Structure 1
Amino acid sequence: MAMHTATMETPLSDGHAEWVLRAYQRDGTTASQPSSAPVVIKFGYTVMHFLEDRLVEERPRPYHTFVFTLGDFLHQESRRRAISTVLLGAGAYDYDICFRWQLERHLVPFCDDPVEMAFNLGNGIEMFVDVLLMYFPSDEEDSLDVDGAGGDGDFGGIPASTDAVKELAVVKYERGGDVREESCIICFEELEEGVEVTRMPCKHAFHGGCLTRWLESSHVCPLCRHAIPASADP
């Protein structure tokens, strides 16, 4: 069984969400090509509710496990794409959408040292992301932030306008064509030759149904956060 070395822990906080990031080098996983070494990310939640002057913890949930290669983490663009895949797959949007953006901003640079060390040693990495979510009676009101962006003004849980969604381009996917993606980052399924995909103004494309559901919760691109017109305030 792989041994763990070079433990790194980074406690961070953002309002009602807190998280601890841990990265371990995996001895015994030396790869012939360093970029092919595995990067295993385990994402777990602990959810607490403040009810009637006491804290109630939800039933513990199993880790969501994601497997990449070290090559996916060597460059900032592919690393952000991998981390976005983790946060989407782990259901971060099912909770407070604002904390996800802050977590991504911390997680991307956190990987710098573990990735460099793993590449030099030819080892894999095992990473744990442990999130504590605290829900208070005022959470619903707090989530209606005037910026809708958790303090940064460019990301938040504001749905896209119906008219803007209708105006998105629908094209057929062809390998080697104008669509750069090979899979839909929302559902993680590969794009099949000839299937119709919906494309954002930033040119990122997704399955039409997947993107429509996404835009019902957020008016920004899942990959690059390019914004389209948002729905009117209620």
Structure 2
Amino acid sequence: MDSGSVVWHAFIDEGQITEPVVHNDSASSSKMNFQLEFSFQTIKCWVSYDDNSQLLMEEFGPSTSTFTWVDFGAVYEDLEQHLLTNLANYGSQKFKDDVVDAIIRHAHTIACTDDKRSLVINIRRFIVYYVDGTSLDSWLNDGPNMVPASMDAIISLPKKEMDYKDNGDEVENCMVCLEEIEAGLVVTTLPCSHIFHDFCISEWLKRSHYCPICRFEMPIPQ
């Protein structure tokens, strides 16, 4: 088994205000003040060399969160530097720059329509270990017992062909195989709204009834 490669992933959700709204004198601040939650988690993945990079197991580390208020009416350069400070320990510079750009665009998009003005920045560090054929049997024998989802629940999940907006903002990665979901491929959506390659999530749920991203629990065999 190798020493593990690292893949960073981030996605943005609209959250709930958990602290009193901060009131500033600036007119732009009163309209563009957002509460941000930065949620971080490390997920270890064990993948088989010998079975088309099939995911064998995931181990979820503890999730930690930090909160801050950000005025998105500020000058872009100042706003960028402030957000980068919150991401100092996460991923490459390009990853952090991309996340900051996505946060700013998302906040500006919903500022006029969303009274909640709260965003959750979910940052996941995937450490991927590849198991070769000689160690696969011992790994399976030593691995923890996992409870699969019921076959009825797997079959009933909605499927569709993946499509994107013209501006390309909806590019997704499948968090089972860690590959981009290309337009035209069949995807499956879990009740928690997370999207995966149809084959990947079907195989995953045959081993574990948890969503690979948020740990939403699917029904299990009775």
Q: TM-score, normalising length from structure 2?
A: 0.44
